[in-house]
Chain A
Amino acid sequence: DGGITQSPKYLFRKEGQNVTLSCEQNLNHDAMYWYRQDPGQGLRLIYYSQIVNDFQKGDIAEGYSVSREKKESFPLTVTSAQKNPTAFYLCASSITIQETQYFGPGTRLLVL
C-alpha cells in the first residue's frame, strides 16, 4: 500500500525542547517537502529536498532542521529556536521537483 506516513499525529513540545517529526514515503519519489500551516492560513514551505543527501531552505527555515539520509525518509526537527511552533505540519513528496506533490496526513504540534 503506497503512500506517505507521518508520525506522530499529535506532538506536544515543552519549552526549550527539540522535537522531531517523522515523514516516510514508499512511492519511490525523489523530492520531499515540509510545510507549515497555521489556522486559516495557506501552506508555507520550510525545507525541501530534491534528492538524497541534499536539501534547501524554503521560505521559513529559521528554527527548523532536516536531514535526508535515505530516499524514503525526510525528518523535520523543530528546535528550541522556533519560538512559535504551534501549527499543522505537512510532509509531501513528488517524483521530481517538477511534478505535482502528494501529502501525508500531517502532524499537529502543540506547545505545553
Chain B
Amino acid sequence: QKEVEQNSGPLSVPEGAIASLNCTYSDRSSQSFFWYRQYSGKSPELIMSIYSNGDKEDGRFTAQLNKASQYVSLLIRDSQPSDSATYLCAVLPQGGSEKLVFGKGTKLTVNP
C-alpha cells in the first residue's frame, strides 16, 4: 500500500512568519509531487507541483523535494491570514496504472 504521511496539525504561525509543511511518502519510485490548498468548506486547488530534487519557487511558496529521503515540503513565506487552510500533499507513483495518492492534510492557521 503506497502511503503519504503528513502531520495533521494544526500548525499555528504568526502573520509574517514562515510556515513549513512536511510530507513523507513510501514509494521510492514516485516521480511527481503536488501540493493542494483546501479552504474550509471548499474543494482542493492545486498550488504547486515539483518533479526534480531541490527547490521550486512560486511567489511566496517554495516546494522542496528530496527523493533520497522520500520527503517533500512546502514553505510559505510572509504568511498571511488568507493562507489559513488545510494543505494536502499528493504523490504520483511511477507506473501506467498508478494514480495520485493523497495525504490527509495539515491544517494551517495564520494568526494576525
Q: Please list the residues of chain A having a beta carbon within 8 angstroms of any beta carbon in chain B.
A: 31, 33, 41-43, 48, 90, 94, 97-98, 100-106
Contact = CB atoms under 8 A, between A and B. Distances in A.
Interface string B80-103: 000000001010100011111011
Interface residues of B, number: 20
Given A42-B105, A90-B43, A105-B42, A98 B88 contact: no
Contact of B32 (A31, A100, A105): A100
A69 B102 CA distance: 27
Interface SS of chain B: helix, strand, loop or mixed?
A: loop
Given A42-B88, A42-B105, A100 B100 contact: yes
A100 B42 contact: no
Contacts of A97: 97-99
Contacts of B67: none
14 contacts: A31-B99, A42-B88, A42-B102, A42-B103, A43-B102, A97-B97, A98-B92, A98-B98, A98-B99, A100-B90, A101-B90, A101-B100, A103-B43, A105-B43
